Structure 1
Amino acid sequence: HQRLLCEIFNEICIPDLRSNINVDRILTLRRQVDALKIHRETFEKDLNELEDKHIDKKRKFLELNEKFHNEYAD
């Protein structure tokens, strides 16, 4: 029991072999992160363009609607 207690409370850490990742894996993960960042930037740019187009179409529709109602009322 004493030996087990010494092992448990020993300050020496044994590294977990599952946490060792080779350099190729790290590089692959970094490339994936970079690709995802670029994809996100492109997606956000496209989304902003679509929102701007929608706002313009909505504004034009409301202007034409108001013009129609003004002409109809006269």
Structure 2
Amino acid sequence: MADWGPVVIAVVLFVFLTPGLLFQLPGNGRVVEFANMRTSVISILIHAVIYFALITIFLIAIGVHITTG
């Protein structure tokens, strides 16, 4: 049986936390900007830390599993 939990969680978090797609933290002119489609190095680093923290919580602490078959 295949475990699709890590794949689904990683894809959803990647789409949600892509800097500039839905939101950017920190923004270029404000703290948070929504749907501006621009990014900066500090924004990429902050989004990467948030992504790592959330994927660690979902996969290791909670243990999300989606099995098929």
Interval of TM-score (by shorter of Structure 1 and Structure 2): 0.3 to 0.5
TM-score by length of 1: 0.34
- Which structure dedicates a bigger proportion of its chain to helix? 1
TM-score by length of 2: 0.36
- Which structure dedicates a bigger proportion of its chain to strand? 2
Q: Larger RCO: Structure 1 or Structure 2 (Cα < 8 Å, ≥ 6 residues apart)? A: 2
